[in-house]
Amino acid sequence: MRRALLSVSDKSGLVELGRGLAARGFELVSTGGTARALQEARLPVIGISDVTGFPEMMDGRVKTLHPRVHGGILARRGRPDDLAAAAEHGIAMIDLVVVNLYPFVKAAANPDTPFDALIEEIDIGGPSLVRAAAKNFQDVLVVVSPADYPAVLEQLDRAGGPTREFRFELARTAFAHTGSYDTAIASTLATVAAGPDGFHRQAGTGLPPLLSMALHKVRDLRYGENPHQRAALYEGFGMAPGFMPLQGKELSYTNLLDLDAAVRMVIEFTEPAAVVIKHTNPCGAATAAAAAEAYVRARDADPLAAFGGIVGLNRPIDAATAAAITSTFIEAVAAPSVEPAALEILAKKANMRVVVPARVVANGEAQAQEDLELRSIVGGVLVQARDVVREAHAPWPGADGLKVVTQRQPTPEEWQALRFAWRLCAHVKSNTVIFTAADRTLAIGAGQMSRVDAVKVARMKAESAGPDALKGSVAASDAFFPFRDGLDAVAAAGATAVVQPGGSVRDQEVIAAADEHGLAMVFTSRRHFRH
């Protein structure tokens, strides 16, 4: 009789698999909670202690680490000497190993998990079983994901048994599973410091000395930024998918980059907000009392550029918002959810991609854990903590770090507009100067080589709205003005207030220029470059 060893933390589909294996003539060998779950389903189970002759001990730390287990997995069926050794020592063959590992990743994701509890979530026997079975994949099936259970039963029903290709694919998946698991452990423990009173996980104190990564391919993409570049989407062990598609064509490389930029921007706001993205920069962004109105304001900030753009919302899409979005050509939309009535409207644009981000939290809280960003360079990888506009999370002027440096104080309306502008400015490619009202962008000068050029681009973008489009606006600069010419250009454009980090050796010259023009200017003492 063939024998299957089952020992799983994730018990999804376990009983159905156990019944399927029993119906196909397998003996079921199991451990702990897995054995109990199978027994409660009235399935016959051989306890692991009956195989090894030893009880499970040390709170379950030792149960499967035994020659009668690993010998039954590792014995090569085509080697008479292996089989003779197994027979001499009373080792029965194990033909199928179903194991998934202790939930270390889940425990590590909770910063309140005590260190000792975290250590107990490091699986020892499980990875050993998986690696042994994967090494001997030509004779033993190894299964680490409940998603593979139906395919395993189908393959067992094949004449001649599972194919070599299927066995090998399961083995590759298994090695990737244990590799990712070990990577997660190494990366987490790199954030732990030993002190006189024990071990403590450190958060936000710096980048880890060891950054281990294991990524698995989710899918190939049609191409990268250009048709001649190969591209694929990868995700890390334990990560939720970045975007769940609801409709539309397959997401492209550039779609994913733009959707990421859109989500980053709208989660800066607690009020309903919308943004339209092109090439990771906003064409327009706005807030309003409702999502539909916010979207229309954002689109109309630069309607020509918004054509074919990517839309991000921080509120569910209702019917009114869906009608507004489908009134023009939009490539893709990301929102926390979509109401049923809105889905019917969006479906009329069958090619438009509609997705739900895996993690959308307002007011930057999704970034509060200082998620790491990685970028490859020639011969290495750059790593940084994700930028968070913390100084704009609280209403202005009450937030910490703000300093009015001009003779004139901002008016209440200007304070509101300056905060709006600062939250968006951080997400625009540097160098940037943007002009806004209190609830919408008016003109965006993105990615220029000087701040004067950024102002010129913004003014050019505003020309279609009339010569006075920027009169009474506020401006935000992601870094300081190195000379007064940038500030002069902002004043000439029509802005009445400016927010910038400050910190230039010529700050006093720039402040004097603002006073000459009657502008109010606020220093935040925090730069937000985005390269």
Q: Which residues contact 495 (CB under 8 A, 6 or more apart)?
A: 435, 470, 473, 474, 475, 519
* Residue 179 vs residues 6, 142, 374, 446, 496: alpha-carbon distances, Å: 20, 15, 20, 42, 57
Q: What is the DSSP string of 432-452?
A: -EEEE-SSBEEEEE-S-SSHH
- Please tell me what DSSP assigns to residue 326: T
517 counts as catalytic: no
Both structure tokens of 16: 């159905």
Helix (H, G, I), strand (E, B) or coil at 155: helix
Measured over the CA atoms of residue 248, residue 250, residue 251 and residue 254, the dihedral's sign is negative
Would you say 56 and 62 are in contact if contact means Cβ atoms under 8 Å apart? yes
Instruction: Give one DSSP letter per residue of 60-118, joined into a string.
Output: TTBSS-SHHHHHHHH--TT-HHHHHHHHHTTPPP--EEEEE---HHHHHH-TTS-HHHH
Catalytic residue among 11, 135, 216, 249: 135
Neighbour count for residue 290 (Cβ, 10 Å):
13
DSSP letter, residue 520: E
Residues 475, 489 contacting (CB under 8 angstroms): no
- Count Cβ neighbours within 10 Å for each residue of 145-181 and write b for 16 or more, e otherwise: ebebbeebbebbeeeeebeeebbeebbebbbbbbbbb
Nearest partner of 7 among 23, 20, 18, judged by Cα: 18
Catalytic residue among 11, 216, 249, 279: 279
In the annotation, is 135 catalytic?
A: yes
Residues with catalytic roles: 135, 279
